[in-house]
Structure 1
Amino acid sequence: MLACVIESAGKLAVVPKPDPEPGPGEVAVDIVYGGICGSDLHYYHDGAAGEFVIREPLVVGHEVVGRVGVIGEGVTGIEVGTPVAVHPAQVCGECEDCTAGRPQLCASSRYLGSAAHFPHIQGGFTQRLVVGAGRAVPLPDGMSLRRAALSEPFSVAYHAVRRAGELTGRSVLVTGAGPIGCLAVAAAREAGAETIYASDLTDYALAQAKQMGADVLLRADHPDDPAWPAKVDVAIEASGSGPGLNTCIRTVRRAGTVVQVGILPPGMTSVLGNALVNKEIELLGSWRFHDEFADAIGMLADRIDAEPLISHEFPLADARAAFDTASDRTTACKVLLQIADPEAVVTG
């Protein structure tokens, strides 16, 4: 089989790998689509995502969907050919965080396509992926694999919006209108937010946020625009930048809430610390997700049409062109790798 591998900054290739076979309790998923995430792009350009540095060749990708190809011993309740979205995290289930209902914080979590541990956790941009059967989540009837490819990033955005608390009737600012920011707009709209502001540095990204339900579009490089709100109840920082975070701190009301979901650059980030104090702002982190995955899939299937965010598709063989395209935020939003024919029939 073929897989998309990054060895270090700028060194990306599609290479052959041994075909994996599922063990007891596992299934092999024939991957159809993989969405390129911001962390994948960081591995591509920098050889690292945040604090996680590539130390061995890494199959990247964690936003993957496909069809069950082979079923391992002892697996019941799922059939060959079932379309599934793959939950990217394998947690221990026994640590303090797992047992306290915070499995997304499990220190032993093995997340697809991550250099957080060594050996690295190989990812999903591959023709066949073996995972525990419980991580292959069947799609609702009629849901296309293309739409389901947004399940993982929408789960990230949905978790961030849940971290913000009750949003019914509230005003929300989302800084950064990349895929996560746009999906946070959609999740905030679904949660009942009254007015949603979205900011970004490009008009293209803001147009995507508009499609997801943003009411007011703001250029981050035009701070004097009178459309900027004097204050908002909640701010969700999805740009992964210090200026974006400080915009949130500056704009949120006294006793308001800021949720940081964008991954900031490695090391220290300067923030408006005194505003945190004298406005008694709640500053919350939001890390991935866990139990929200199935709910997020259901919302995408039934109520939220996020497919307009998919701007490009490339075959796996053209992975480098796909990564280069995804890196240009003036023309691309969510870029998919098509790893197999979405209309193919799996027979085992």
Structure 2
Amino acid sequence: MIGCVLHGRGDLRVEELPVPEPGPGQALVAVRYGGVCGSDLHYWRHGGVGDFRLREPLVPGHEVVGTVAGYGAGASGPAPGTAVAVHPATPCGACPECAAGRRTVCRDVRYLGSAARFPHVQGAFAGMVAVPAWQLRALPGGLDARRAALAEPLSVASHAVRRAGPVTGRHVLVTGAGPIGCLVVAAARAAGAARVTVTDLLPEALRYAAVAGADTVVRAGDPGDAGWPDEVDVAVEASGTAAGLDTCLRLVRRAGIVVQLGMLPPGQSPFAGNLVVSREIELRGSFRFDAEFDAALDLLAAEPALDGLISAVVPVADAERAFALAVDRTRSCKVLLDFGG
């Protein structure tokens, strides 16, 4: 089968890989679409994501949908041929965090296409992938595989909104209109936000935020933009920049909540800590997701307009072109690899 392999910074190759055999408790999935994530791009461009560095060749990819091809011993689930999305996380179930219901911060989690542990957890940008059978989700009625490829990033966005607490009737600020930021807009609207304002440096990105349902879009580099709010109730930082976090801290109301979702550069990042103190702002982290995956699939089935966030579908043989397109935010939002079924 054909798959993508990262051999190091800037070294992405499309190679022949062996077809995996599903082990006990596993399902074999024929991959149809895979979404190119910001973390995949960081591994490709920089050799790592935050503090997670490539130390061996890695098959990237964790935003995948396909069809059930078979099962290993003792495994069961949707019938072969069923269209499914793959939940990419396998928490250990035994650590204190898992016991407390905080599986998103499991200290021994396995996550498809991640260099967070060594040996790395190989990902799903391949024609076939074997995963624990319980991680399969049959697609709900009315949801095609193409749009379902947004389920993983929408789950990340939904978890960030959940970390903010109730947003019903509130004004939510989102800094960064990449794919995750745009999906935070959709998740906030679904959670009852009264107004969503999005900031970004690029007008092209802001157009995608409007597609996702933003009420107001603001050019981050233009202090004179008329869309800047005086204050907001909740802010979600989705750009992964110190400047975005600073904007959130300065615009959120006193005793408001800021959720840091974007992965900041490795090492120390400056932030306006005095505002956290003097205004009693709550600064919360948000990492990946857990149970939000099923709700994300239902939301995608109900919101066909989110198709508009998929800017390109590229054959896997042209994977490097897909990565180059995905990193150019003036030309793309979410780019999918097509494995051809």
- C-alpha displacement of 1:72: 1.5
How far off is 1:304 after superposition? 6.0
Correspondence for 1:191: 191
**Number of the residue aligned with 1:249:** 249
SS, match of residue 156 in structure 2: helix
Counterpart residue number, 1:345: none
Matches of residues 262-277 of structure 1 in structure 2 within 5 Å? Answer: 262-277=262-277
Alpha-carbon distance between aligned partners in 1 of 2:267 and 2:100, rounded to the nearest angstrom? 29
Deviation at 1:212, TM superposition (A): 0.9
Distance in 1 between residues matched to 2:191 and 2:142, nearest whole Å: 24
CA contact (8 A) 2:114 2:122 kept: yes
Is 2:25 aligned against 1:19?
Answer: no
Query: Partner of 1:161 in structure 2?
Result: 161
Give yes or no for contact 2:202–2:330 (8 Å, CA) kept in 1: yes
Identity level (%): 56
Counting matched residue pairs gives: 341
- For 1:318, the equivalent position in structure 2 comes to 318
Following superposition, the deviation at residue 216 of structure 1 comes to 0.8
CA contact (8 A) 2:174 2:184 kept: yes
Question: Using the alignment, how far apart are the partners of 1:259 and 1:130 within structure 2?
Answer: 34
Say whether the 8 Å CA contact 1:186–1:304 is kept in structure 2.
no
Structure 1: gaps (5+ residues): 342-348
In structure 2, runs of 5+ residues without a counterpart are none
Query: 1:217 corresponds to which residue?
Result: 217
Q: Secondary structure at the match of 1:129?
A: strand
Q: CA deviation at 1:305?
A: 3.4
Partner Cα distance (1:118, 1:56) in 2: 9
Structure 1 residue 88, shift from structure 2 partner: 0.5
Q: Take 2:40 and 2:249, find their aligned partners in 1: how far apart are those partners? A: 28
Aligned-partner residue type, residue 184 of structure 1: V
- SS across alignment from 1:306: helix
* Matched-pair contact (CA < 8 Å) for 2:206–2:217: yes
- For the residues of structure 2 that align with 1:93 and 1:332, how far apart are their CA atoms? 38
Superposed CA deviations along residues 282-319 of structure 1, whole A, max 9, x for unmatched, are: 00000000111111111111246311100011101000
What per-residue deviation string (whole Å, max 9, x for no partner) do you get for residues 203-243 of structure 1?
11100101111111100101232321110000000000000
Work out whether 1:48 is the aligned partner of 2:48.
yes
- 3-state SS of paired residue (2:160): helix
The alpha-carbon deviation at position 326 of structure 1 amounts to 0.5
State how far apart, in whole Å, the 2-side matches of 1:142 and 1:253 are: 40
Root-mean-square deviation (CA), in Å?
0.9
Give, in angstroms, the shift of residue 330 of structure 1. Answer: 0.7
CA distance in 1, matches of 2:252, 2:190: 21
The aligned counterpart of 1:260 is 260
CA shift digits 1:52-107 (9 cap, x unpaired)? 00010000011001001111122234211011100101111111111111111101
Classify the secondary structure of the residue corresponding to 1:276: helix
Residue 5 (structure 1) aligns with: 5
Q: Tell me, yes or no, if structure 1 residue 146 matches structure 2 residue 142.
A: no
SS at the partner of 1:23? coil
TM-score, normalised relative to structure 2: 0.98
Tell me, in whole angstroms, the C-alpha distance in 2 between the residues paired with 1:142 and 1:168: 27
Mapped partners of 2:42, 2:241: distance in 1: 14
1:1-348 mapped onto 2 (5 Å cutoff): 1-303=1-303, 305-341=305-341
TM-score, length-normalised on structure 1?
A: 0.96
Letter of the 2:320 counterpart: R
Secondary structure of the residue aligned to 1:222 is coil
Helix, strand or coil for the counterpart of 1:321? helix
